[in-house]
Amino acid sequence: MSLTRKLRRLQPHLLRVTGILVSLCMLSLLIASSVDWDPAYRFTYSWLEYTDADGSPEAVCNCSAILQGDDQVLEHTKLLTFTKDFKKRVQIPDEYYINATQDCRKFKLSRKYITFPLSEEEDNFPLAYSMVVHHKNFERLLRAIYAPQNVYCVHVDKKAKDSVFAAIMAITSCFPNVFMVSRPVDVVYAAWPRVQADLNCMADLYNASTTWKYFINLCGQDFPLKTNLEIVRSLRSLNGKNSMESEQMPSGKKWRHKRIHSLFQSLQDTGQTKSPAPFNLPIMSGNAYIVVNRGYVRSVLEDSQILALIEWAKDTYSPDEFLWATIQRMPHVPGSLWPSAKYDQTDMTAIARLVKWAWHEGSEGLLEAVYPVCHGNHVRSICVYGVGDLQWMIGQHHLFANKFDTDMDPIAIYCLEKYLRHKALSS
């Protein structure tokens, strides 16, 4: 019998086998999709938990006791963070990321990235993140907020070391929904380029996807206080509103937008008076961090009044601390609030960012205090959190906190990472 005739006789059998295999594949996909959304099934994801067996130097600390505020453990942990040997051991060199990401699958497995949606609720509510960073701690932040349905724009300061830039480039190359900004800028403290970095990411994110619901901007010293599911639920509860600090401008800050500043290596006050804001817009006080819907971002990119305000703000001091807050009080902007003082929102009532300012700290029960004293260090009057701040922080309603620094207290981030991952896999 010829080979052709044999193949013809086998063809019906091959078709039946192929049909069975296809059916089995479809059935397995249906089972997998139904299981993915079953909360009880999350307990089988034990391989995604952060455990002491991972070999992290910080594992010598008792995170459970730290989060419960155990004074003895906190004191021991704080002493550990002062030792040079420990600080050296916890740092991950740039070369590790450059080499490890040559095999993206192995890198994501070893770093325990969550590469599938943990719930249908999260899958149906994708988010967009702008991440303005300048050092490799970016990877731990990305890992803490990563979800495959979200989209991430990464802006690396052009002044960053070549090795840092190479490491971050290598990391982003492993994820289809994480990309480098198309137009990077030199970020200068308190100057316009800090805003421009976020604007460039806003534009890239808006064009990259039409499905995301909310935009959140981050810097390299931020870290989440909530899981992705908790963030989604907080944002859904806003019912389309935005959330950020937006208050009447204190008289002591008005010089920032009333005098012209020029940028040459650093920001300089020229002493010249600026013209009033376009359209007589009331300039509000706020900060650099926002949680806004897609319509707000569209307005920032396209609205003629806002574009005029942006041009006007380019020669002011720290425009990120009034621009977003001012746009938030323009009634025609989606998700905004009326400009009346009755609608003022402080950084403590907004959900965007938890920040401890030195002059608002105080002992418990002190009437003037907004929050407890900082257990870390202060940089530009802002608390760089230590492990002693964690118990208070995780009880707040904010989505993110600022500032963290692994050079000052790596254990604070480590314990927060473990806490959030366990919560994400068990809730």
Cα–Cα distance measured from residue 220 to residue 318, given in angstroms and rounded to the nearest whole number: 18
Element of type H or E holding 313: helix 304-313
Q: Show Cβ contacts of residue 126 under 8 Å, excluding neighbours closer than 6 positions.
A: 147, 149, 150, 151, 209, 211, 212, 213
Instruction: Give yes or no for a contact between 152 and 80, defined as CB atoms under 8 angstroms apart.
Output: no
Cα–Cα distance measured from residue 344 to residue 249, given in angstroms and rounded to the nearest whole number: 10
From the candidates 122, 139, 321, 417, give the one annotated as an active-site residue: 321
Cα–Cα distance measured from residue 101 to residue 99, given in angstroms and rounded to the nearest whole number: 6
Is 37 in a helix, a strand, or coil? coil
Please say whether the dihedral angle defined by the alpha carbons of residues 79, 84, 86 and 87, taken in this order, is positive or negative.
positive
Nearest to 296 by CA among 257, 256, 323: 323
Burial of residue 59 (CB within 10 Å: 0-12, 13-18, 19+) is middle
Strand partners, 264: 266
Is 215 in a helix, a strand, or coil? strand
Instruction: Give yes or no for a contact between 408 and 377, defined as CB atoms under 8 angstroms apart.
Output: yes
Cα–Cα distance measured from residue 294 to residue 292, given in angstroms and rounded to the nearest whole number: 7
Q: Which residue has the tokens 């922080």?
A: 393
Cα–Cα distance measured from residue 170 to residue 151, given in angstroms and rounded to the nearest whole number: 17
Cα–Cα distance measured from residue 230 to residue 399, given in angstroms and rounded to the nearest whole number: 8
Q: Which residue has the tokens 């988010």?
A: 127
For this structure, is 321 an active site residue?
Answer: yes
CB atoms within 10 A of CB 114: 18
400-402 and 222-224: which strand pairing?
antiparallel
- Give start and end residues of each alpha helix (H) in 111-161: 120-123, 138-145
Strands (E) located in 193-289? 214-219, 222-224, 247-248, 259-264, 266-273, 284-285
| Catalytic residue numbers, as ranges | 321
